[in-house]
Structure 1
Amino acid sequence: MGVRGMQRTVHGEMEELLSRVEPPRVALVEQELESPPAIRDVRSAVREALGEVELPRGSVAVGVGSRGVGRVAEVASALVEALKDAGADPFIVPAMGSHGASTAEGQAEVLRHLGVSEERVGCPIRATMEAVEVGRTPAGVPVYMDRYAFEADAVVVINRVKPHTAFRGEVESGPTKMLAIGLGKQKGAHAVHAAGWEYIHRTIPEAARVAIDAGRVAFGLAVLENADEEPCRIVAIPAEELPEREIPLLKEAKRNLPRIPFSEIDVLVVDEIGKNVSGDGADPNVTGRYPTPYASGGPSVERMVFLSLTGETGGNANGVGMADVVTRRLEEQMDREATYMNALTSTTPAPVRLPMVMPNDRLAVAAALEMCAGVRPEEARLVRITNTLRLHRMWVSEALLDEVRENPRLHLVEGPVPMRFDGDGNLEGVD
């Protein structure tokens, strides 16, 4: 028998084995999340926040990143409007390290996916991957700044404050990190990461201080979100007060972070991952799967399945390596060049490794269940979510229903019913 014949035989045996695995019955559960109310009038909230800082004049580079900041186009538009009213000439620069396949065109496209276009925000978008070294940290790490930003009279950055996916520190993701990494393009992002993940909690604020001391940074606009991915607080922080004023904001953001309400999970199924959801595709703070040993928290998950990529991620599948099983659909959606640039920049290969690939959702779930040693598939503690930002509704297996009944914030909506696969073996949407 030839190699291809053997492959077909093995493939048939695998499908036969997995077709016998019966997934557990599941129930649709709704979770009440404690969360601050969303800001109704973003424009007014931005205007109010800007009362705490002095608005610069002249040319102003406004850094906007690739993270899915809720209503980011409205935030950017309100900021641009205020800067114009103060007599400034603002423009947008992508501040996202190596994202967008590390090309100027790719980064501009990421902004368009997020709704940040010249028409929407009312000013030009100037994208380049050129970066200028502005100094070095006490440890000798070079700090870079987007060339357009460096040549402007002033720099302002917009970023969401939230827990990082790979380290813990007094400041993690926010305006400080954007100054140190995002605004530094691929060169700056790589320099900070290459200095060592064990030191990054110190390197980021030190690099941000170098960027501030270069004299162009006016302030950072920090956005906090509630559990519905909506801005719930906007704070303008003068450059000289970064990162100190981010410290309490990070603590607040951690309290607002939505979480899966179970501590022990046999199989976690995530319908979609993407850079617009998390830097790691699926937020490790939610899944409990981290790309480095320098962060922890979240549930204990035995096996994890990713089914597809979001359209907004543009094929960037960073974080795919945190799964144990993925579908062929996800593999075909993956842009390897865009994905691998993340690993080359962050010096972390684990998130881009391709896990076991299965032909469809049915076999992917079955494979994960089959690899839960000592657990009968029909008795597995299975949870299925849309993505790590959308945690209001989820499907959970019968083995978790006692915990659902004991939790006053969880409500049974439907089921238990068999998992619903279509004729191609793929799942219907969570909602």
Structure 2
Amino acid sequence: MFPKMIRIHNHGYNRERIGDVQQAYKESWDSLGLDPGKMKGKKIGIAVGSRGIDQIQAIVRMTVGKVKEAGGEPYIFAAMGSHGGGTAQGQQEVLASLGITQEEVGAPVLCSGETKLWGWTGPHGYPVYGSVLCDQFDAFVLINRVKMHTDFEDVTESGVLKLMAIGIGGPAGCQNVHALALKDGYGTVIRETAAFMMEHLPVLFGVLLTENAVHRLDCICMREPADFLETEKALLSKVKQGRMKLPAEQIDVLIVDEMGKDISGSGMDTKVIGRVCVTGQAEPASPQITRIAVLGLTEGSHGNAIGIGLADFTTKDVLEQTDFAATAKNAVASMAPAQGKFPCVLRTDRDALQAALDTAALEDPEAARVVRIRNTNQIADLYVSAALYEELRGSRDIEALGEAEPLAFDDRGRLLPGQYGHE
């Protein structure tokens, strides 16, 4: 017997967002004050990663436009480590799925999985790898989102520093950084590797983006390399303060409708689900979730199911959608084989959810504390079991959007789509 579920909206998050992206970009560009002569007559490589960043196509298109206005020749190049299977074709497909094509952004898109050794850092002697594409450019522009990383906590996590160390580092650089991080920590290795790269690459500026708690662009910040570190620290601190969490610290079963690489680097945001499974990294103190069931893999994942190992149960459909070579490559490169393991596979969604409830050590399944989300990027609008709602209803942040209703399945045992999107 499944508990009845109530659709709710959690208002406890940062709602700030940019209304006019073009105007915000212009204001940031003007404040940068870059001398256009630094781009005139030069081939400018614009580094773009594999994340589904809000408004990324528009940001890349406007950056291409600024390079052209200054008399430069812009090129987009893939800076995504081992993503896209570590191949040029895979990288091209990932960028195209984000709307990053020559037709859409106005500049050629170059991809390569080949890297070479650039040298060694001073403090620790870390080897540094970079994409062979970098040899084609006279100067560089970096575009990335500053956000919390799924595998570690530090003063800097994901941003332009990581884009250099792991993204521009290509498959070899990605695996190298992750291996070194097992000993010295991600933050140390990424910052030291990025510092080496900034000394050897003529980086003109970075476009540092942040999103609010429901992943809408809320800041466009352009800075020169000397300001990258302190800017990332400040932006990350702001992001952490405005983040959203699941509405309960103790959950019996979490139902995740979909996971994928376009949602999080680990398929599911580890800070949301409270599971990391990376050697040497501490597990989050909360939330404490007894069972996690994943019911779908996004099309934008291109079969890469990294992070599926964070779940306890999944389905035959997810198994059949998985590209095992791409998943294994990502798991090995990120030194996180546990995230690439498959959980217990059930025939249908109904079977997977029943197994999750049966193994959650519940005295009364109808009183289970169950949460259902579309994915870990969209947790403002979600479902909670009737029993859990009774605990939450006194909170001023929680708004019920309907009555308690049973979970509904089709005749093949698939969970019917939920209603999400209230913001």
Alignment correspondent of 2:205: 219
Aligned positions of 1:227-376 closer than 5 A: 227-292=213-278, 293-294=281-282, 296-376=284-364
Partner secondary structure for residue 296 of structure 2:
strand
How far did residue 140 of structure 1 move? Answer: 2.1
Contact 2:131 2:168 in 1 (8 A): yes
How far did residue 188 of structure 1 move? Answer: 0.6
Q: Which runs of 5+ in 2 are unaligned?
A: none
Alignment correspondent of 1:165: 150
Match 1:95 to one of 53, 66, 79 = 79
Alignment correspondent of 2:53: 69
State the AA in 2 paired with 1:178: L
Superposed CA deviations along residues 328-368 of structure 1, whole A, max 9, x for unmatched, are 11111100011111112112101000000001111100001
Whole-Å Cα distance in 2 between the matches of residues 294 and 150 of structure 1?
39
Alignment correspondent of 2:13: 34
How far did residue 413 of structure 1 move? Answer: 1.4
Superposed CA deviations along residues 85-135 of structure 1, whole A, max 9, x for unmatched, are 111111101111000111101001000101111111110001111223222
**Aligned in 2, Cα 1:32/1:306: closer, same or farther, shift over 3 Å?**
same
**Aligned in 2, Cα 1:44/1:131: closer, same or farther, shift over 3 Å?**
farther
Contact 2:274 2:283 in 1 (8 A): no
Match 1:49 to one of 28, 45, 48 = 28
Q: Which runs of 5+ in 1 are unaligned?
A: 1-21
Whole-Å Cα distance in 2 between the matches of residues 196 and 149 of structure 1?
24
How far did residue 403 of structure 1 move? Answer: 2.5
Alignment correspondent of 1:5: none
Whole-Å Cα distance in 1 between the matches of residues 135 and 234 of structure 2?
29
Match 2:162 to one of 169, 173, 177 = 177
Contact 1:135 1:143 in 2 (8 A): yes
Alignment correspondent of 1:377: 365
Q: What is the TM-score with the length of structure 1 in the denominator? A: 0.92
Aligned positions of 1:11-30 closer than 5 A: 22-30=1-9
Aligned positions of 1:134-145 closer than 5 A: 134-137=118-121, 138-145=123-130
Matched, 1:151 2:136: yes
Contact 2:79 2:167 in 1 (8 A): yes
Whole-Å Cα distance in 1 between the matches of residues 182 and 282 of structure 2?
7
Whole-Å Cα distance in 2 between the matches of residues 26 and 171 of structure 1?
38
Provide the aligned length of Structure 1 versus Structure 2. 410
State the AA in 1 paired with 2:143: I
Q: Percent identity over the alignment?
A: 37
How far did residue 254 of structure 1 move? Answer: 1.3
State the AA in 2 paired with 1:156: V
Whole-Å Cα distance in 1 between the matches of residues 241 and 217 of structure 2?
14
How far did residue 375 of structure 1 move? Answer: 3.6
Whole-Å Cα distance in 1 between the matches of residues 213 and 363 of structure 2?
33
How far did residue 28 of structure 1 move? Answer: 1.1
Superposed CA deviations along residues 197-246 of structure 1, whole A, max 9, x for unmatched, are 35221000000000000032222211000123211101112112222221
Whole-Å Cα distance in 1 between the matches of residues 23 and 104 of structure 2?
17
Alignment correspondent of 1:11: none
Deviates more, 1:53-62 or 1:275-284: 53-62
**Aligned in 2, Cα 1:312/1:323: closer, same or farther, shift over 3 Å?**
same
Whole-Å Cα distance in 2 between the matches of residues 297 and 172 of structure 1?
19
Q: What is the TM-score with the length of structure 2 in the denominator? A: 0.94
Partner secondary structure for residue 169 of structure 2:
helix
* RMSD of equivalent CA atoms: 1.4
Contact 1:153 1:216 in 2 (8 A): yes
